[in-house]
Amino acid sequence: MRVTFAMDRCAVATIPRRMAVQGRSETFTLAKKPEGLTRRAHRAGARRQVALRTPTPAGRWTRIIGTAMARLLVFFLWTACAACTTAVKELPPTQEEVPGVPVYVVSHGWHAGIVVRRRDIPASTWPSHRDFADAAYLEVGWGDKTFYQALNPNVGDAIAAAFMPTDSVLHIFGFRDSVPATFPSSEIIRIQVTAAGMQRLARYIEASHATDAVGNPIPLGPESPRISRFYLSRETYHLFNNCNVWAARALRTAGLPINPAQALTVGGLMSQARQIGEVIREGLGDALPRSLALESE
């Protein structure tokens, strides 16, 4: 039996029961005429069968666009997975030892300092720590050069420090008494790090120092050399790279899960520290260390 029919964009063809449509790669098979059907009804069924299987121009473009979108989706998913993998690689180094070196985070109300035992500092790192040979502990902080060193900072100093990139300094304070006794009004959190983490922390502090022509730290100001001293820093201070962000980066370098982006304020830093450390004492942290307060009277 032979059936003659026409379809869009195809030449009129006369095809047998198994037919091939000119211009298409598909092969279509017409079912045998069922008993009892008229020739006209069977021919109408053949047209519907071809129409269902033959892609129209709109359908072809729909498939092309759909395939392209699927490939783009796969690409973006792959990119997202790669980004996640990169983020994991950029997390703090895993602690390869049992943590046993104490590091203290001390809040002073508007900024926080980091306290370490001097004996835990590797001898080959952080050269300025040698200036405090009589100290059992060292507290280090970082901040705007003008505001941090001012005895009575004014509003202009604060605005300049917050909104304009400025020079910076490190402040190192050495003491022999216990940390809670030295900071009687401050919130204190103790966190344990590994020896390797302590070495990374010391190198981070060392790298923040500006140095002279022969590589020595540059001390500033007439403060008591063996108790407290400022040192010039090579870093730039601004609103999004402030003292608390600097301290957060130091702790992260030591291998702790601290996010500097969430430490723009001392509250953000201390909140993260509480989650991974031991609160030695809660407090407002708005007073000078006891020895410096006595010295300033």
Residues 273 and 128 in one domain: yes
Same domain for 183 and 150:
yes
Contact 168, 143 (CB under 8 A): yes
Specify the range with the lowest mean pLDDT, choosing from 56-65, 206-215, 246-255.
56-65
pLDDT at site 61:
55
> What's the mean pLDDT in 28-35?
49
Say whether both 205 and 109 belong to one domain: yes
Say yes or no to pLDDT of 126 above 90: yes
Range 21-30 contact pairs with CB under 8 angstroms and sequence separation of 24 or more = 21/50, 21/54, 24/54, 26/53, 26/54, 28/53, 28/54, 30/3
Q: Which domain holds residue 12?
A: 3-53
Residue 14 belongs to some domain of the structure: yes
In the predicted model, what is the mean pLDDT of the chain? Answer: 75
Check pLDDT > 80 for residue 117: yes
Instruction: Note whether residue 245 is domain-resident.
Output: yes
Number of domains in the chain: 3
pLDDT in the model for residue 65: 55
Query: Tokens representing 88?
Result: 């994991």
Which pLDDT does position 112 carry in this prediction? 94
Asked if residue 96 belongs to a domain, the reply is no
Q: Are residues 108 and 76 in the same domain?
A: no
118 and 35 within one domain: no
> Of 17-26, 74-83, 188-197, 262-271, which range is least confident?
74-83
Task: Name the band, by pLDDT with cuts 50, 70 and 90, for residue 222.
Answer: low
